[in-house]
Structure 1
Amino acid sequence: MAQKLKWNIESPLKVERGLNTISFSVENLDQTDLSGHFEIDLPKGFTMLGAATIQASIPGKATRYFTFRAQANNLSLVSGTKINILFKDSDGKQISQRALDIKIPLFRKISINDQTPLQTFRLQGDSIHIKLNIQNEGTVEENFKIVLSSPNRYGKTVFKEFPMFLKPGKDSLLVYSFMVERYMTSLSQYLVRITGINDKDDPFGNVQLAFYNRSSSRDFNANDMIRNNLWQTTGNNVELRISNIFNQHKNYSMYSTGEYETKTGAIRYGVNMANWQGLDRIFVTNTYLELEHNRHQITAGNLQESLESTFYGRGMKYAFLDTAKGTAVDFGVSDNSNELLSSYQPGSGIPLTAFARLRLGELKKDRKFYDGQVIFNRNTIDTTGFLLWTNSFDISPKKEKSSIVGFVGAGTAFHLVRNDEKYQQNAIALGWKTTQEWNKMRFLMDYFYSTPYYPGNRRGVTQLQHRLSYPLGRWQGAVGYNFHAFTPKSLTYYSSNFKNRQQRLEAQFTGSTRKGNAFITLSPSYNTENASYSFSDIPFELSSKSYLLQTNGQYFSANRKHNINILAEGGYININNPNQTDNNSSGETALRMDATYGYGQIRFMGGFQKGTFQLYELFNSLFYNTSVSTQYSFGVQASGAFLGDKVKWNLNNTGRYSKLWGFNVLNVGSIDYQLKKTTRISMQGQLTYTKGLSNNPYTYNNVQMVVKQQLPSGKIINKKPQGNVKMFIFYDNNYNGVYDQGDAVASNYNLMFGSVSFSTNNKGQAVYKNIPFGDYVIFTPPINNYSAKSKVVNVDSKSVNVQVALQQVSTLNGEIILEYNPVFDLTVNTNLRGYRVLAEASDGVIYTAETDESGKFILQVPRGKYIISLDKNSFAENVLSEEKPIEINLQIGDKLKTRPFILKAKKKNIEIKRFGS
C-alpha cells in the first residue's frame, strides 16, 4: 500500500522572466520513514539550475521543505504549460506527483537578431542583403514595424518600412536586398540602422549594420569632405520670408543661425531682422554672437537665460565650462530690452539686470549637484528692483531609484525711490523634492513655498504634490494629491493682484487590451478652486467644488492606417459667486469631449463643451455680462507628398462655434518644394474669419513665401600634414618576412588601415591618399588560414611604403567547464557565453577570443610561444577560477586542443549548529 503524502505548494505558480525560486513542503502522514528522490520535469523555455533530481528522506509523521531554482528564458514558451514534480522511492517506483499550473504576468519583449552575413561592396550596382530574425519573446500579440534608415543617405534617411504582426512565442525571418548607389562608392563604409517601432510609437531593438567598401584606393580628403558637408544634419541656415504678399504693406524678415568650429573652440551666431508694415526702420531681435575658446565662452547681443528669475535683453555674458568635472561658472548683464537697436525712454535711466551662476557636479552620477544663482534687477520703467540668491542642491547622494533635492532662496524687493512704508520687502523660498522607488512602486513628493514678495519666477506660491504609482497587471495605477496656491504681491502700482488656490485629489488607471491595439485611461478626481481678480476697481471672487471623471481611449487598426482617439470629461460642479446678492451658489453638470479619427494622412476632429471646468472660464462671462453657452469645435487636416518627397503639402481647417460668443474659422495651407539638397522654397497661406459678440465680421488673410538655404556645417576640414600610404600584401609561404621566390601576391584580400577597410587589387596593392600624419594600425583578419600580426605604421612623410607578410596561422581549440552545485553554491548564470580568453605572445601582443554558450573557444594566431589565460573581468557574478595559465608553443599550421579551464562557483555561508548533552 502506497504511503500517504500531503503536498504544500503554490499553484498556479507565478513565473517571471529570469531566475525563479520554487519552494514546497511534503508531509509524511504514515508512521514509517520514506526515502527517495524528487524528479523535476520542466517545460520548454525553462532551464534547471543544478541537478534535475532532489534526494529526500522524510521520517514518519514529519514534514520536510525543498527548494529548486529554474531560469525562465522565454515566457511565451512557458505560458500555458505545467511543471511536473514526481516523487519516487529508492527503487524508482513513483509514489506521488504534483502538476503546477503556471501563471505568466503580462510581458512585452520583441527582439531583433541580426543574421546578416558579412558583406562588402565595391561597384555601383552591387547587391547588399539584410537578414533579420524577429522574435516575440513576450506574452501578448504584437503589431509593430521595422524601420530601415541610414545616416549616409542624402535627404530622407528612412528608406524602408515593414509592418509586422507576431503572436507570443513566434518569430519571423525578414530578408531585404538593395542596390549600391553611386554616392555609396565614395564612402569607406555604409551604415544601416534597424529600429523597431511598437504600436505605441516607442522604439525597441536598435541594430546597426556596417557594410565596408572594398576599394583598393582611398582619399582621406574626399571622405572628410563628405563628413563636412552633411547639409541635412547641420543647423546652419539662412531663411528669407515675405509676408502679406497681396497686401499694401508687406513684411520682410531674415533669420539665420550658424556654428563654425575653430582650432580652439567655435563661433556661433543668430540673426533675426525684420521690416514691418512699410515702416522706415529695421527691427533686430534675437541676434547674438558667441565666441568659444577652449573652455571659455563670451556672448554679446540679445541674451536670454533660464534662471530663477527673468533675464533677457541686450547685454554680454561670460561662461566657463568644464564638462569633465561637471563645473560651470557664468555671469552676465543685460538691459531688459527686446530689441537690439532700440533707444531708452528719455529721463527714465537705463534698466539693468545682472546675474552670476555656479554649477557643480552637473550630469555627474558620482557627485552631488549644486546650482547657485545671484540675480540683481533695476527696472526704471516701474521704479522697482530686487536682489535674489537661490540654491538648488542634492541632499543625498545620487542613486538609481531615489533622489532628494532641496531648494533655498532669499531676496529683497525695493523701490528705486523711497516714497512710502513699502519701500522694501524681504522674502524667502524653500523647496524639497524626492522620488523613491521600492520594487515596482514609485513615490513622488514635491513641496515649495515662497512669500508674496519673493522676486523669483515662483512668487507667492505654496505647492504640495504627492503621487504614488504601482503596476496592476496590464494596468498602471496611481493616486495623487495636489495643492497649489498663488498669492503674489508687487511693489509696482501698475499691476493688480491675482489670487488662486486649487486642490485636487485624483486616481488614475491606465491599461491596454491583450492585443495591444487599444488603450484606455480613467481618472476620477475631486477638485476645489478659489480665485479673485480685479477689473478696474471691481473685485471678483469665485469658488468651486467639482467631482469629475476623465476618460481617454485610443484605438489602432492592425495595419496602423486607422486610429481613433476620444477624450471625455464630465461631472458635477458647484460654483459660488459672492458678488451676486441672490442665488450666489449654483450647481450644474459639465461635460466636454474631443474626438479624432485618422486614416493615413487625413485627420478629422470634433468636440463640444457644456459648462465650465475652471474659474478663469467664468471671468470673461462676468466681464461681458454674457452667460457661458455650449461650444462646438471641428477640424480636418490632410498632408501628403509627391515627386519622390520633393514636394510636400499640408491643409488644415479648424473652427469654433458658440451661439452667444460667435464663430471663428481658421484655414491654413502650405506647400514645400525641395529645390536642391540644400535649398527649400515654401508657400504658406492663412485665411481667418471671425464673428464675435459685436456681431461684426472680421477677415484676415496672409500669404507668405519662404526661401531656406542650408549653410555648410562649419566643421574644420583636416589641415594636418598629409601623406600617401602604399601597401603591398603577399603570402609569405617560406616564412622569412620578405617577398621572394615561392611567395604569392595576396589579391582581393580584405584588411583594415586604422578604421578604414581596403581590398587589394590584382597586384596585392592598396593605396590610402592624403592621410594626416600620425600612427595607424594595420589589421589583417585570418582569411584562408593566413594572417599577420597587427603592426603600427608611422605616417611622417609624403610617401610611405608598407609590406605586410601574411603567414599561415595556427589554430588552438579549448573550453571552460563550470563546476556548480546549487545546494552548496551561490546562484550563478550557467550560460558560458562571453568569457574572454587571452593569448599573450612572447613579444607582448595579446590575442583574444570569446567562448560560446557551451564554453568552447577558438584562437587563430601566428606561430610562436603563448601564455593562455582567462580575463577575470569577463566572469559572471559569483564565478571564480584558481587555474594557472597554460604555456604552449605553436608551429606553422598547428591545430591543437588545450586542456580545459575549470571554473567554480562561490560557496554559501552555511551555519552548522551542534547539540551536545
Structure 2
Amino acid sequence: MQSKCYKILLLLTVFGSGLNAWSQNNSFSIQFTSNKIETNNTGVADAYVKIVNTTTHSIEGTFDTHSSHEDLYLSQRKLKTITLAARDSIFIPIKAIVSTTAKAGNQSTIEAIFTITETQEAKSVFMPVFIRERKLVKVMLLETNLIYERAGDSLTIPIRVSNEGNTAQKITILARYPDFITRNAIENKDLNIPPFTDTIIVLKKVVNKMILNQEDFTINITVLYHNGDIINNGTVRASSIRQDRRYVAPYNPDYNLTFNQTNQVTASIQHNSDNTNAYFLYANAQAEINNGILQANLDMNWWENSDQVFFRNTWLGYKEKNYGATIGNISKFFDLNLIGRGAEGFYKPNEKNTIEAGAIDKTFNLIDNPSLSFGKSAWGMFTHNNGWMQKKGYENTIIYDNDSYSGTQNYLASSRFSLYTSENFNLRAGGAISNLTSNIESGNKLGGAGEVQFNGKMKNLFYSSSNYLSSGYFSGMRKGVVNLNERVNLPVGKYNLWGVYNYLSAKPESFANQFTSTNFSTARYDIGISRRFSSLIVSLSPYYYTESRTEQLMSSITPDEYSMKAARMTLGLTYYNTPTRQNVSLSFEGGLFTANTIEKREFHFKTNFIYSWKMLNLLAFYQYNNFYLGEIIANSQLGIQKTYTNLTISPTLQQKFFNDKLTINLGMVYSKNSIISESLQFNGRADYDVTKDFSLFVYNYYSDFSTSATTLNTIQVGLTKRFNPIKIDKTRSTLEVYVYYETGDKKETIAKNSPAINQLVIIDGKAFRTDNKGILKYRSLPPGSYTIKPVNTNEWYADVVKIDIDADTKIAIGLNKTATIKGTLSYIATDKSFDITKKKGGLPIIAIDDSGKLFTTKTDENGSFILYVPKGLYTVSLEKTGISEYVEVENNNQLIDAEPNNIKEVKFTLNIKEKRVETRKFSSNGFQKQ
C-alpha cells in the first residue's frame, strides 16, 4: 500500500513539473509569416517573424537571427531587445543579403530566436531559403583589332567568357570568317562553364597567301546559349600592317541599285532552244567627286530573232547632301505605280524636310518610239522627318496620270501623318482624294481613300491594327477596297498566344471602256498558341475562313456568284540548330469546307515541308482538294471534275570548290497537279573567280510542261569585271605620324629623343608599322575625326590620341617607359570564421592615376596580378565583385608611386569574418544561454 502511495506521489510530481514547463514554454509563440523564400537574384530577401505574448502580463526578451550558410548574410548582427505587453504581438522584419556566389539548388536556412530575459525561456523557428537558377553569361572580345604582316602569322581572337549565373552553362561560340579564309565559313566551339567562373577562349587562324592579299576584312563572332538564345554579337577587324597606305571608304551597299556591287561590268550571251541568241550587257558605276556622288546604271539586251534593243533600268544620277537628280528609266511606287522614262529630282531645304518632283513618259524601253507610250505622268512630294512612319513625320503627294491604255486622266492628292508616337503606342493616319475623267464618257468621278494604323502594348499584350478604305472610283490601284487587319499577341513564358482578324473586300467601279476587275471578299478569324521547347517550336492555330467572288466565265453571258466557307486547323513544327546549321519546318493545314458549287461538305488539306542543312535546301508541298475559289473557278472553266491535287518538290544545292573559287548552284522544281499534269524545271549556275575582281559564269534553265509539245532550254555564258571605287576629291589630306621614345627630360625637344622604329599603331582600325625614322603615313583621308592608338607593350606606353583632320597634318606621339605593379592577395581566417569559398582567380584590380585614368586587370588562379602603367601616383584597389559578403579587405585602396625599372609590390589581405558562437544548456524550461 505504501509503495503504491510513493508511486502516485512520484507520478504527480513529474506531472506537475511537466505542467509547469509547458506553461512556461507557452508564454509566447514565434513563427515566420511565410513558409519559405525562393529567389534567383542577388540582393536582399525579405522575411517577417511574428512574436505573440500569450500571457496576461508583459514580457521582455532578446531577438536574434542566424544564417546556416555563407550564401545568406543577415543584416541584423546584434541582439535586439523587445518588450511586449500582455496579449500583444509584434512583426519583426529580417533582411538577408543573397551572396553573388550562391549556387542554384543550395538550401540555406534563417533561424530566428526569442529569449525571455527573466526566465531565459527560448524558442527557435527556421525559414528555408531556396536558390533558383539564374542564367547570366557575359562575353567580351578582348581584342577587336587584329593585325597581320606575313604568311605564317596567327590571327588570334581572345574571348573572355564569364558565367555570373548560379548554374553551369553550355554555350557555343560561332566565328563567321570570310570565304577566302575557310571553305566552311562558320566554325563553332562548344564550351561548358561552371557558375561564378570565367575563362578565356582563343580562336586562331594561320595567315596564308589569300589573307595577305587582303587589305582588311571582318570576322563576326556570335555566342549562344545551348538552346539557341543569343548572348552576344561582336565584330573583329583584321588589318594588314603598312607603313604607308591610302584611305579606302568602307563598303556601304546601295539597295536602290539592281546589284549591290558598284563599278562592275557584266557581258553575256544566251542561246535559246529555238536556236536564237540574246545578248546582255549590264554595267554600273559610282564616282565620288568632292561632296557629290555620280552614279550610272546600264541594262541593255538585244534579241536576235526580233532585232530589237531594250534599255531598261538604265539611268544617270548625281546627288549631294541637299539635292540630287536622276534621268533615264524611273520607277516610283505611290497609290499609283509609275514606271517609264523621264527625270526626277529632290531638294532638302533643311535637315527635316525634302521636296521631290518628277515626270515620265510611260514606256518601258528607254529608246522606244513615242507612239508606243502608254501615257504621261508627273508627281510632287513633300516629306517631313522622313515620312509618316517616323516620329512626328508626315508626307504629302500629288500625282497626275494620263493613261492612254484605259483612256483616262487621273488627279490624286494624298497626305499621311504620324499622329502620336510613344514607347507603348503609335498612331498613324492618312487620306487621299482623286478625280477621274474619261476620254469617251463625259463627266468626272470623284474618289477618296483613308487609312488608320496603330500598334502598341499593354504590359505583355501586344496589338496592331491596319485599316484601309477607298471608294469605287478612286484613282489609286486599290479601288473600292475595304481592308482590315487586326492582331493581338500575348507572350507568356515559353508560350505565345495570338488572335488575328483579316478582312479584304474589293468592289471597283469603272468607265465603260475600262477593264472591270473581279468583285471579291475574304475574311479570316484566327486564334493560336505556340510553345518553345529548347530548339523546337510547336504551334497550333484553328481558324475560320470565308470567301465570295463574282466571276464571269468565258462560256457565260452574266457573272456568276461563288462562295466558300471553311473551318481549318494549322499545326506547325519548327526545329533549328544554329551550330550545325540545320533547320526543319513542317506544317499541316486542313479542315472541312462548303461551297455553293458542291453538294456537301468536303475535306481538304495541305502540308509544307522545308529542310536546310549546309549546302542542301529542300521544299516539298502537297495539297488535296480546293482551298480557294480561284481553284474551283479554274477547274470549272477547264471542265475538270476530279478532285484537285498539287504536289511540288524543289531541292536546291550550293557548294564551293577549289578554295572557294568555284561556286555551284543547282535547283530543280517538280510539280504535278490536276490542271497541269506534270512539269519539270531545272536551273544551274557555276561561277568561277579567275581573280578577285574578274569572274566567269555559265547558267542553264530547262523547263518541260506535259501540256506543251516543246521544251524550253536556255544556256547563258558571261563574264564580270569589277573595278576599284572612283574617287575625285581635292579635300583629301595626308596624316603623318612620328612616334618616338621619351627618354630625356620632357622640356627637351623632340629631336633629342630616339624614333620608335617598327612601332605598331592602329588608326581607326587600320594597322601601321613605323619606318626606320619612326614615321607612318595615311593618305587621302576625308575630313573627319580619327583615333590614333599606339600598341602598348610591357615596356612602353602612350595614350590614345584623337585628332580632327581637314588638311595635311603632322603629329608626334611620345612613348613613355612603363612601370610595373605586381601583387597578390591572401585570406586570413580563425577557427570561428565563416566557412566560405576562398575565391582568388578572376577578381578585378583597378589602378587610378591622379587624372582619374583607369587601368584594370584580373587576378590569376593563385591570386596574383600584374599591371603595366605609365610613371605616376596610383590608387590600387581590389574590387569586391565576386568576393563573399563575409570578407573584409583590410588594406584596400593603397597609394603607389610607380617608377620605371622599379617593380612595386602590393598585397591585399582578406579577413574572413567570425561567427558569433553561443553555448546553451538544456533545462526543463528549454535552452538557456551560458
Q: TM-score range by the shorter chain?
A: 0.7 to 0.9
- The letter for the 2-side match of 1:654 is V
Determine if contact 1:735/1:807 at 8 Å carries over to the other structure. no
Q: 2 CA distance for matches of 1:616 and 1:635?
A: 24
Q: 2 CA distance for matches of 1:301 and 1:631?
A: 44
Quote the offset at 1:715 in angstroms: 4.0
What residue is the counterpart of 1:336 in the other structure? Answer: 362
Aligned residues: 819
Say which SS state the counterpart of residue 414 (structure 1) adopts: strand
1:322-350 Cα deviation digits (max 9, x unpaired): 7x83422101111222121112448xx97
What residue is the counterpart of 1:765 in the other structure? Answer: 774
- Within the alignment, does 1:712 sit opposite 2:727 as a pair? no
- The letter for the 1-side match of 2:126 is Q
1:840-883 Cα deviation digits (max 9, x unpaired): 5xxxxxx63277899x999956679x9x9xxxxxxxxxxxxxxx
Question: Cα gap change, 1:561/1:279 in structure 2, threshold over 3 Å: closer, same or farther?
Answer: same
Say which SS state the counterpart of residue 631 (structure 2) adopts: helix
Which one of 550, 562, 565 corresponds to residue 532 of structure 1? Answer: 550
1:207-245 Cα deviation digits (max 9, x unpaired): 2345676x6x71133x54999999x98433222232235
What residue is the counterpart of 1:674 in the other structure? Answer: 689
What residue is the counterpart of 1:238 in the other structure? Answer: 265
- Within the alignment, does 1:737 sit opposite 2:763 as a pair? no
Quote the offset at 1:719 in angstroms: 6.6
Determine if contact 1:384/1:492 at 8 Å carries over to the other structure. no
Question: Cα gap change, 1:793/1:506 in structure 2, threshold over 3 Å: closer, same or farther?
Answer: closer
Which one of 671, 685, 689 corresponds to residue 656 of structure 1? Answer: 671
Determine if contact 2:796/2:815 at 8 Å carries over to the other structure. no
What residue is the counterpart of 1:609 in the other structure? Answer: 623
Quote the offset at 1:292 in angstroms: 1.4
Q: 1 CA distance for matches of 2:790 and 2:53?
A: 73
Determine if contact 1:194/1:206 at 8 Å carries over to the other structure. yes
Q: 2 CA distance for matches of 1:43 and 1:547?
A: 61
What residue is the counterpart of 1:624 in the other structure? Answer: 638
Quote the offset at 1:778 in angstroms: 6.8
Q: 2 CA distance for matches of 1:595 and 1:33?
A: 76
- Within the alignment, does 1:7 sit opposite 2:7 as a pair? no
What residue is the counterpart of 1:327 in the other structure? Answer: 353
Determine if contact 1:371/1:391 at 8 Å carries over to the other structure. yes
What residue is the counterpart of 2:854 in the other structure? Answer: 849
Determine if contact 1:145/1:198 at 8 Å carries over to the other structure. no
What residue is the counterpart of 2:476 in the other structure? Answer: 456
- Within the alignment, does 1:286 sit opposite 2:301 as a pair? no
Determine if contact 1:344/1:350 at 8 Å carries over to the other structure. no
What residue is the counterpart of 1:149 in the other structure? Answer: 177
Q: 2 CA distance for matches of 1:477 and 1:758?
A: 56
What residue is the counterpart of 2:340 in the other structure? Answer: 313
Q: 2 CA distance for matches of 1:559 and 1:781?
A: 35
Question: Cα gap change, 1:313/1:837 in structure 2, threshold over 3 Å: closer, same or farther?
Answer: farther
Say which SS state the counterpart of residue 637 (structure 2) adopts: helix
- Matches for 1:57-456 after TM superposition, within 5 Å: 62=89, 64=91, 66=93, 79-82=104-107, 84-89=109-114, 95-101=124-130, 111-115=138-142, 121-134=148-161, 144=172, 146-149=174-177, 159=185, 161-164=187-190, 174-181=201-208, 192-196=219-223, 205-210=232-237, 218-221=243-246, 224=248, 234-245=261-272, 247-321=274-348, 325-345=351-371, 351-362=375-386, 367-396=391-420, 398-417=421-440, 419-420=441-442, 423-456=443-476
Quote the offset at 1:411 in angstroms: 1.8
- Within the alignment, does 1:703 sit opposite 2:715 as a pair? yes
- Matches for 1:508-587 after TM superposition, within 5 Å: 508-513=528-533, 516-535=534-553, 537-556=557-576, 560=580, 563-577=583-597, 585-587=599-601
Say which SS state the counterpart of residue 748 (structure 2) adopts: coil
Say which SS state the counterpart of residue 617 (structure 1) adopts: helix
Determine if contact 1:434/1:445 at 8 Å carries over to the other structure. yes
Determine if contact 1:39/1:53 at 8 Å carries over to the other structure. no
Quote the offset at 1:754 in angstroms: 8.0
Q: 1 CA distance for matches of 2:109 and 2:437?
A: 80
1:288-343 Cα deviation digits (max 9, x unpaired): 11111442111111111132322221111111247x83422101111222121112
- Matches for 1:17-32 after TM superposition, within 5 Å: 22-31=45-54
Determine if contact 2:387/2:395 at 8 Å carries over to the other structure. no
Say which SS state the counterpart of residue 711 (structure 2) adopts: strand
Quote the offset at 1:370 in angstroms: 0.7
Which one of 674, 697, 702 corresponds to residue 687 of structure 1? Answer: 702
Question: Cα gap change, 1:658/1:707 in structure 2, threshold over 3 Å: closer, same or farther?
Answer: same
- Within the alignment, does 1:466 sit opposite 2:489 as a pair? no
Say which SS state the counterpart of residue 616 (structure 1) adopts: helix
Quote the offset at 1:130 in angstroms: 2.5
Q: 1 CA distance for matches of 2:905 and 2:592?
A: 81
- Within the alignment, does 1:636 sit opposite 2:660 as a pair? no
Is there any run of 5+ residues in structure 1 with no aligned partner, and where?
578-583, 814-831, 841-846, 869-887, 899-917
- The letter for the 1-side match of 2:502 is N
More displaced, 711-720 or 483-492? 711-720
Quote the offset at 1:131 in angstroms: 2.8
Say which SS state the counterpart of residue 623 (structure 1) adopts: helix
Is there any run of 5+ residues in structure 2 with no aligned partner, and where?
1-24, 824-842, 860-864, 876-894, 907-930
Question: Cα gap change, 1:166/1:373 in structure 2, threshold over 3 Å: closer, same or farther?
Answer: farther
Percent identity over paired residues: 15
Question: Cα gap change, 1:528/1:54 in structure 2, threshold over 3 Å: closer, same or farther?
Answer: farther
Say which SS state the counterpart of residue 282 (structure 1) adopts: strand
Q: 1 CA distance for matches of 2:167 and 2:475?
A: 54
Determine if contact 1:591/1:611 at 8 Å carries over to the other structure. yes
Say which SS state the counterpart of residue 476 (structure 2) adopts: coil
- The letter for the 1-side match of 2:445 is Q
Say which SS state the counterpart of residue 265 (structure 2) adopts: strand
1:105-157 Cα deviation digits (max 9, x unpaired): xx98764333569976544322332233456769898675512436xx86989
- The letter for the 2-side match of 1:99 is P
Determine if contact 1:402/1:435 at 8 Å carries over to the other structure. yes
Quote the offset at 1:558 in angstroms: 9.1
Q: 1 CA distance for matches of 2:35 and 2:592?
A: 47
- Bigger radius of gyration among the two: 2
Determine if contact 1:484/1:503 at 8 Å carries over to the other structure. yes
Q: 1 CA distance for matches of 2:672 and 2:684?
A: 22
Question: Cα gap change, 1:776/1:439 in structure 2, threshold over 3 Å: closer, same or farther?
Answer: closer
1:746-778 Cα deviation digits (max 9, x unpaired): 5555556787655556x6733437576999887
Q: 2 CA distance for matches of 1:771 and 1:651?
A: 44
Question: Cα gap change, 1:647/1:294 in structure 2, threshold over 3 Å: closer, same or farther?
Answer: same
Determine if contact 2:520/2:549 at 8 Å carries over to the other structure. yes
Determine if contact 2:481/2:505 at 8 Å carries over to the other structure. yes
Q: 2 CA distance for matches of 1:315 and 1:289?
A: 11
What residue is the counterpart of 1:816 in the other structure? Answer: none
- The letter for the 2-side match of 1:732 is T
- The letter for the 1-side match of 2:506 is F
Quote the offset at 1:384 in angstroms: 0.9
Question: Cα gap change, 1:311/1:244 in structure 2, threshold over 3 Å: closer, same or farther?
Answer: same
Question: Cα gap change, 1:643/1:158 in structure 2, threshold over 3 Å: closer, same or farther?
Answer: closer
Determine if contact 2:104/2:166 at 8 Å carries over to the other structure. no
Say which SS state the counterpart of residue 538 (structure 1) adopts: coil
